[in-house]
Amino acid sequence: MTAITNHLPTAELQALDAAHHMHPFTANGELAEKGARVITRASGVTLTDSEGHEILDAMAGLWCVNIGYGRDELADVAARQMRELPYYNTFFQTTHAPAIALAAKIAELAPEGLNHVFFAGSGSEANDTNIRMVRHYWALKDKPSKSIIISRKNAYHGSSVGSGSLGGMSAMHEQGGMPIPDIHHINQPNWWAEAGDMSPEDFGLARAQELEQAILELGEDRVAAFIAEPVQGAGGVIVPPTTYWPEIQRICDKYEILLIADEVICGFGRTGNWFGSQTMGIRPDIMTIAKGLSSGYAPIGGSIVSDEVAAVIGSGEFNHGYTYSGHPVASAVALENLRILEEENIVGHVRDVAAPYLKEKWEALTDHPLVGEAKIVGMMGSIALTPNKAARAAFASDAGTVGYICRERCFANNLVMRHVGDRMIISPPLVITPDEIDTLIERARKSLDECYEILKEKDMLQSA
Ligand SMILES: *Cc1c(COP(=O)(O)O)cnc(C)c1O
């Protein structure tokens, strides 16, 4: 058999892919007929595919390539670490410099009082850790009945059985026996789709108060923690009204339930601060991290844990861990990524340059006939497509039909912009320049125009 490399014709790679490779979150039968797009290389904010297209990646891969593609420093660090110590575990009273250095660096960057890191291989694994850690925490404090974790509908916390149960994606819960017991979901703060006549402020407050109602209904003695993304990502970049998070914090404080901020997307600069919790003004007990931690160059995740929780958990043995917890190569790569983020002031670039520039252009998209609201925090944004802005109407077609058409136009115009239902979302590399933002917006507008023409032609501009 000849080696399978980028030198093979695209059709051949696609056929082999279809024959052997099961894609995540994909109807593989359908994809086999169409053929997957083969990505061959990437640099900065630009992907190249096997047909030579140069595509602006406005999703930073899966929200993760914060420093952009093609940074040789990370490759060099990985090679060096692999030669020196490719692997050793941290289970049996051993440790190594990469894990030590990364944990210390994360503690330095994290908000006050969050000084301990439990490493995992991904965000899903980290949230599985969190489920066990918060329940074990309460058991150690002689309150073993406090085992319910409250989360939100349309949240995304990962795809393992535990983290997928925490998440509030109904399409995921329909498959494979989820959610596990003692996970409770309240409504999300999605003003555009769910607020009816309420103002954003009243709606934000009402949705936050669902947490208090849930605690009272379930019983304070049953609730261990509340978990949420500072800004929902995979759910469609749902930016909560300003009233939402202060009320959530008040309720967590009042009933002494642990607050877990899932920072897998928001962490490491995406919202214009190191962590989304800082942007939203909250004080979590645990933060989930992954994605931007290594800019996706190596798989690594973890939980940043408060002094108080770490002290309780550390009072005995926590029967939990992963073979790759604190993997030396992934840790070294993540540490180098954090060095670049810090020394090149990339968080400052987001806050002072890229985010203000993108915000202005992004919000101006509401002048397009298809775009209802445009929301953006730092470098994560969404637009709601609608046939009737004033009514905040959904399309008559199944949710996602129009979004998919728009996404296909984006791909045709060399732009990766995802759709969640009929919301279009972006989360570009943090290093994106104003010129590249202009290109992003130009391609987005062209795609929206083409989508609009298709909808007109097919008579699909009907409200549900
Ligand atoms: C992606 C994501 C996860 C899961 O991370 P994986 O590394 O894919 O397991 C968890 N939480 C949030 C908010 C995410 O966006």
Q: Whose CA is nearest to atom 11 of ligand 1?
A: 157
Task: Decide if 20 is inside a domain.
Answer: no
Q: In this structure, are 250 and 398 located in the same domain?
A: no
Q: In this structure, are 396 and 319 located in the same domain?
A: no
232 lines ligand 1 (CB under 6 A): no
| CA dihedral for 19, 24, 27, 32, sign (positive or negative) | negative
Prior bond to 179 cis, omega within 30?
yes
Contacts of 375 (CB under 8 A, 6+ apart): 192, 237, 238, 239, 381, 382, 383
Q: In this structure, are 125 and 178 located in the same domain?
A: yes
Task: Decide if 25 is inside a domain.
Answer: no
118 lines ligand 1 (CB under 6 A): no
The answer to whether 121 touches 324, Cβ cutoff 8 Å, is yes
Q: What is the pTM of this model?
A: 0.98
CATH number of the domain to which 129 belongs: 3.40.640.10
Task: Decide if 3 is inside a domain.
Answer: no
Contacts of 27 (CB under 8 A, 6+ apart): none
**Dist CA 412 CA 262 (whole Å):** 33
CATH number of the domain to which 60 belongs: 3.90.1150.10
Which mutation among 25, 64, 122 tests ligand 1's pocket best, with the greatest number of atoms within 8 A of CB?
122
Q: Closest ligand 1 atom, CA of 155?
A: 13
Q: In this structure, are 312 and 399 located in the same domain?
A: no
Task: Decide if 9 is inside a domain.
Answer: no
**Dist CA 250 CA 269 (whole Å):** 25
Nearest to 427 by CA among 138, 7, 61, 84: 61
DSSP 48: E
Q: In this structure, are 295 and 409 located in the same domain?
A: no
**Dist CA 437 CA 440 (whole Å):** 5
- Boundary (domain end) residue, out of 311, 344, 377: 344
- Give residue 292's pLDDT: 98
Q: In this structure, are 315 and 392 located in the same domain?
A: no
On the CB side of 84, how many CA atoms lie within 13 Å of its CA? 12
Task: Decide if 31 is inside a domain.
Answer: no
Task: Decide if 77 is inside a domain.
Answer: yes
CA distances from 363 to 189, 192, 195, 241, 359 (A): 20, 15, 21, 16, 6
Tokens standing for 84? 């020196």
Q: In this structure, are 117 and 201 located in the same domain?
A: yes
Q: What is the pLDDT along the chain (464 residues), one digit of tens a residue?
A: 679 999 999 999 999 999 999 999 999 999 999 999 999 999 999 999 999 999 999 999 999 999 999 999 999 999 999 999 999 999 999 999 999 999 999 999 999 999 999 999 999 999 999 999 999 999 999 999 999 999 999 999 999 999 999 999 999 999 999 999 999 999 999 999 999 999 999 999 999 999 999 999 999 999 999 999 999 999 999 999 999 999 999 999 999 999 999 999 999 999 999 999 999 999 999 999 999 999 999 999 999 999 999 999 999 999 999 999 999 999 999 999 999 999 999 999 999 999 999 999 999 999 999 999 999 999 999 999 999 999 999 999 999 999 999 999 999 999 999 999 999 999 999 999 999 999 999 999 999 999 999 999 999 999 99
Q: Closest ligand 1 atom, CA of 64?
A: 1
Q: In this structure, are 184 and 306 located in the same domain?
A: yes
- Structural domain count of the chain: 2
- Boundary (domain end) residue, out of 344, 363, 389: 344
- Boundary (domain end) residue, out of 344, 376, 391: 344
Beta bridge partners of 148: 223
**Dist CA 359 CA 30 (whole Å):** 36
Task: Decide if 29 is inside a domain.
Answer: no
Q: In this structure, are 274 and 405 located in the same domain?
A: no
Strand arrangement, sheet containing 54-57: 39-43, 46-49, 54-57, 415-416
Q: In this structure, are 162 and 247 located in the same domain?
A: yes
Residue 429: what residue type?
Answer: P
Which mutation among 59, 172, 264, 277 tests ligand 1's pocket best, with the greatest number of atoms within 8 A of CB?
264
Q: Closest ligand 1 atom, CA of 290?
A: 7
Q: Closest ligand 1 atom, CA of 160?
A: 9
Q: In this structure, are 329 and 303 located in the same domain?
A: yes
Contacts of 380 (CB under 8 A, 6+ apart): 63, 231, 233, 237, 265, 266, 270, 271, 425, 426, 427
Task: Decide if 426 is inside a domain.
Answer: yes
Tokens standing for 247? 């009320």
- Domain residues for 355? 37-70+346-458
CB atoms within 10 A of CB 88: 14
Q: In this structure, are 55 and 157 located in the same domain?
A: no
